[in-house]
Homo-oligomer: A and B are copies of this chain.
Amino acid sequence: MLTKEELEEYSAEAIEIYLDHISIDCVVFGFHEGQMKVLMLKSKNEDGWQLPGGFVQKREPIDVAANRILATRTGIDEVFLQQFHVFGAPDRNRQHNEMYADMVAKEKNFFAHRFISIGYYALVDFFDAIPTPDEFSEICTWRDLNDLPPFLLDHELIFTTALDTLRLQLSYQPIGYNLMPKEFTMPELQKLYETILGKKLDRRNFQRRMLGFGILNKLPQTRKGGAHKAPYLYSFDLENYQAALKEGLKSGW
């Protein structure tokens, strides 16, 4: 539990260094053991979980702020990170919560102000990230997409909007470089796509399509040790991958 003193101190500091009324929330996706994961934080003062978030420093570009917030929660930097929506309902603040509203006078309590939040979503390598709680949270950890805890505020809306966006992106952008390890097999990559889309894909058509994009390098090695036939390993061709990110994978009209 945060004390009144701690909250006052955090608030006074925040007012000094951050822009008022603007926050950033990140939906951080990871992939592990065939399951899609989201990074979440268990609040100290409130009974629920939330997405990693933060504020924008007074002279900081918003993309830099999002990167900083993500780096603080995971230790990783320079990953796929993209704004996807702004959440600006007037009641998306913490005034309803006694802890935030009553402990410190509302005007003086930065965190009880109204915040318009810019939603970012990130794709990161599960093993690269070291989940790290912030001052307001007791736990920071990966949660399975199929087993999500109750959300605080409008964070469920932010999460579902991010997932919808990710699914859309999948149709016209390559995705995977930031979610997969350096080397991976085609079935592993397929599993990622199936997990994001929530449905099965044809093994052979998937492979042909993926290879058709020209963003994969087939490595001479195979992944041994598993039962059954050993699958080939692949890595992303970063140059072509970046190009595909810009160009898109297919054109309409």
Look across to chain B and name the residue whose beta carbon is closest to the beta carbon of A92: B61
Q: How large is the interface on A (under 10, 10 to 19, 20 to 34, 35 or more residues)?
A: 20 to 34
**Given A56-B116, A116-B22, A253-B61 contact (CB < 8 Å):** no
In the complex, identify which listed stretch (A37-45, A82-90, A216-224, A229-237) lies at the interface while the others stay far away.
A82-90
User: CB-CB < 8 A to A112: which residues of B?
Assistant: none
| Interface: A172 (CB within 8 A) | yes
| Interface: A58 (CB within 8 A) | yes
* Contact in complex: B197, A90 (CB < 8 Å): no
User: CB-CB < 8 A to A85: which residues of B?
Assistant: 83
**Given A61-B90, A90-B61, A253-B201 contact (CB < 8 Å):** yes
- How far apart sit A142 and B105, CA to CA, in the bound complex (Å)? 48
User: CB-CB < 8 A to A65: which residues of B?
Assistant: 88
* Contact in complex: B114, A86 (CB < 8 Å): no
Look across to chain B and name the residue whose beta carbon is closest to the beta carbon of A63: B88
Return A50 CB to nearest CB of chain B, in Å: 21
- How far apart sit A88 and B63, CA to CA, in the bound complex (Å)? 8
Q: Which residues of A in the span 178-200 have a Cβ within 8 Å of any Cβ on B?
A: 193, 197
User: CB-CB < 8 A to A148: which residues of B?
Assistant: none
Interface flags, A163-176, vs B, CB<8A=1, else 0: 00000001110000
- How far apart sit A85 and B83, CA to CA, in the bound complex (Å)? 8
* Contact in complex: A114, B252 (CB < 8 Å): no
| Interface: A59 (CB within 8 A) | yes
Return A212 CB to nearest CB of chain B, in Å: 14
Look across to chain B and name the residue whose beta carbon is closest to the beta carbon of A249: B252
| Interface: A118 (CB within 8 A) | yes
Chain A interface (Cβ within 8 Å of chain B)? 19-22, 56, 58-63, 65, 83, 85-86, 88-90, 114, 116, 118, 170-172, 193, 197, 201, 250-253
> Which 7 pairs, one residue from A and one from B, show the smallest C-beta to C-beta distance?
A171-B252, A62-B88, A59-B90, A19-B21, A86-B118, A61-B89, A20-B20
Q: A19-B116, A83-B85 are in contact. List 19 more A-B contacts (CB 8 A).
A: A19-B114, A21-B21, A22-B22, A22-B116, A56-B116, A58-B114, A59-B90, A60-B90, A86-B86, A88-B118, A116-B118, A170-B252, A170-B253, A171-B251, A171-B252, A171-B253, A172-B252, A197-B253, A201-B253
